[in-house]
Structure 1
Amino acid sequence: MQKLKVGMLLFPELTILDFTGPYNVFVKAPCFEVLTVGITSGPIRAEGGLILQPAIEMADCPQLDILFVPGGHGINTLLQEPVVLQFLQQQAEKAKYITSVSTGALVLAAAGLLQGYKATTHWRSLELLRMFGVETLEERVVKDRNRITGGGVTAGIDFGLVLTALIGGEEMAKIIQLQLEYNPAPPFREGSPHTAGLPVLQKTKELTQLGLDARKKIIQQLLQDQTSASVRPS
């Protein structure tokens, strides 16, 4: 079986489970060759302080078959990082699939890679994704042609299994699901804004509001700069 190269972007302050959920699926699937990619190959500090080290830096990265972007607090920097956006744009020209989990979708959108596609992201950031003109669906995994996006954090496992089934077949994905004992039975019903109790929902929104507002300002400025550049005389 020919292996598809999956390039998983690593960056400071990424959310670990956004990355490790699909990573644990991909490394068990014989249809994938996994490459971790960073701006440099030096160590990075993820959310909470865990140290990760990309296997390869962007400048040396071969053409990828599958481009993957996780989310996390660190995307605020990526949204304003031309090196990252240009890397994604260049890789996307020949990649078979363009993918993300959680707020990684915002980075794809900032690179112009979700225009005309349906996508999803973390429930708290759906409004931010819509700011880019992207049609959003509040689902665990959204597949629109060769764009595959996962919802927030834990949806990365679902995303990984969906992509594995698409490339390697359902049986392969089912075997990996069983190997991972992925049989969710959460202790509470608060895993969705639609099932969470009102006090929990309100408190969660309060705790995340400052970060949401800060990210919204970054996106507004980014879109303003893009508009100014498009009307600037050559």
Structure 2
Amino acid sequence: MSAVQTGAGESRRRVLRGAVAGSLGVAGLGAASGHPAAAADRRAPGGDGEGKLSVAVLLYDGFTALDAVGPYEVLCRVPGVRVTMVAREAGPVRTDTGELTLMAERAMSEVERADVLLVPGGGNRGTVAMMEDAGVHRWIRRIHRRSTWTTSVCTGSLILGAAGLLRGLPATTYWASRPYLKEVGAVYTPGRFVETGKIVTAAGVSAGIDMGLHLASRLSDEKVAQAMQLAVEYDPDPPYDTGSPEKADAETEALALKLLADSAR
């Protein structure tokens, strides 16, 4: 790293430290929210061994990046929460485009329990493979039995359904995959995310951020969730109003699906 880069990085850290000190004083976020004591009451055994609530994000070849990273970005800074990327084997895992890789910190066989299980969606290749993977289904069911929350983003709900967790339950998924929910026994229900008991399913891709904020409030409290929304400056104001099939015409829908298909690897 050059001296210029180092200086710029140090300058940025000073700015962030100054902003935090100015807005929170010496108390800091955890003390201001009162979260640590509240979290201690909710900690379940079998977490990550550090006394933190554990969130396991399942990665697999062909998952969609934002499905995993969106909720991660919201939850990873919530006091008392530890987010871990998990895959069949620890190591690099490719996204649906094949052009981005995330690292799984732990193998599925090493994770016996999590307070929150999060299953992201993926491209057709990745989703179908996971819907047919009996070993993954057994792991999902095992984690689900003791989880506080079992969640999905986008077509991750189809994977939960294939594992037998959504029979007769309201759920949502990616807009183009709604008809497939019926095939896994779920009842399609509109919404950015749908909560049924301890199962929460989010709609497509960016809806995982909404669900992540909801989970932040459940794992901590609303003040922390609201602060995290500000921390990641999640204040959507898109230049176009075509973010759901109810708002887009048929030509836009067809182009959206073509763009996804053409980028798949």
- The offset of 1:203, in angstroms, is 3.6
Letter in 1 for 2:90: S
For residues 52 and 206 of structure 1, what CA distance do their matches in structure 2 show? Answer: 25
Match runs of 1:70-109 below 5 Å: 70-73=120-123, 74-109=126-161
For residues 91 and 255 of structure 2, what CA distance do their matches in structure 1 show? Answer: 37
- The offset of 1:115, in angstroms, is 1.7
Give 4+ residue runs of structure 1 displaced > 6 Å after superposition: 206-210
Which stretches in structure 2 are left out of the alignment for 5+ residues? 1-35, 41-51
Q: Which of 51, 55, 58 is equivalent to 1:6?
A: 55
Cα RMSD for the two superposed structures? 1.7
Letter in 2 for 1:131: E
- The offset of 1:199, in angstroms, is 2.3
- The offset of 1:113, in angstroms, is 0.9
In the superposition, relative to structure 1, how do residues 27 and 112 fare at CA in structure 2: closer, same or farther (>3 Å)? same
1:170 aligns to 2:228 (yes or no): no
Partner of 2:182: 130
- The offset of 1:119, in angstroms, is 0.9
Contact 1:117-1:147 at 8 Å conserved across structures: no
Q: How many residues align?
A: 210
Which stretches in structure 1 are left out of the alignment for 5+ residues? 211-234
Match runs of 1:1-234 below 5 Å: 1=36, 2=40, 3-48=52-97, 49-73=99-123, 74-204=126-256
For residues 209 and 4 of structure 1, what CA distance do their matches in structure 2 show? Answer: 37
Structure (1 or 2) with the larger CA radius of gyration: 2
SS at match of 1:52: strand
TM-score of the two chains, using structure 1 as the length reference: 0.85
For residues 130 and 93 of structure 1, what CA distance do their matches in structure 2 show? Answer: 23
- Percent pairwise identity: 36
Contact 2:112-2:142 at 8 Å conserved across structures: no
TM-score of the two chains, using structure 2 as the length reference: 0.75
